[in-house]
Structure 1
Amino acid sequence: MIINTKNTKYYQWGNNCQAWTFIQSENVIVKEELMPPHTEEQLHFHNETEQFFYILDGKASFLLESEKISLLKNEGIKISAKQIHKIGNETSEDLRFLVMSFPGNSNDRVNIQH
């Protein structure tokens, strides 16, 4: 079966951010997400889950622990388990990316309160 953003599970999060879940199993979760300009997610970590983010369009700003990293289109980054992080879009253009989570535990997120 061909999978795309029109025939898969969709939800909104944060400030008008969007996500499409392409694959969800106990081994992996694969999503495409879209963040409008000047949005960011909450700082958090995962106890056991590793993630890989791959930028499709736009420029992503990551906070990893206390280090700020920018990623451009066709660049990716691996986030280790227990690594404190968040992704943001500090530009005036949409940010579109793939995020893959290993293993596929959607309950393995711990938000960090400010």
Structure 2
Amino acid sequence: MISSENAEHYIWGEKCDGWYLVNRQDMLIIHEKMPPGTQEKRHYHSVSRQFFFVLEGILTMELAGEMQEIGARQGIEIPPGAKHQARNSSDAAVEFIVISHPTTRGDRSDLTEG
């Protein structure tokens, strides 16, 4: 059994937490937690398709220039090549699951702001 209690933990971005639930070349599943006011770098994946599923809070996803708010028990699919950025614009932490197929390792291109 795997959970965020016993999974490998990492810190990313501006004090955000992540836990590897499945970490294989053909699939990556992570549980992430973003404190209020944090965001990741805008980027895209050439091959990997992702699905973000919110457990608690509200995740703001910029996807191809459009902002979408995803609430608890809602999800959004990010196709390969789609420029995107996850943000927590709310006053509370947001927790979500990200499923990537195949893994995003070596398949991320960060974009410059502006």
Fold match (TM-score > 0.5): yes
Count of aligned residue pairs for this structure pair:
113
Aligned to 2:17: 18
Q: Is it true that 1:9 corresponds to 2:4 in the alignment?
A: no
Alignment of 1:1-114 (within 5 A): 2-114=1-113
Distance 1:55 1:3 in 2: 18
Where does the alignment leave 5 or more consecutive residues of structure 2 unmatched?
Answer: none
Residue identity in the other structure for 1:39: T
Q: What's the TM-score, normalizing by structure 1?
A: 0.96
Post-superposition Cα deviations, 1:51-96, rounded to whole Å, max 9, x if no partner, equal 0000000001010111111100000010000000011000110000
Post-superposition Cα deviations, 1:29-60, rounded to whole Å, max 9, x if no partner, equal 00000000011100000010000000000001
Where does the alignment leave 5 or more consecutive residues of structure 1 unmatched?
Answer: none
Runs of 4+ that moved beyond 6 A? none
State the Cα RMSD in Å. 0.7
Q: Please state whether the residue corresponding to 1:40 is helix, strand or coil.
A: coil
Q: What's the TM-score, normalizing by structure 2?
A: 0.96
Distance 1:21 1:107 in 2: 16
Q: Structure 1 vs Structure 2: percent identity of aligned residues?
A: 29
Distance 2:4 2:105 in 1: 19
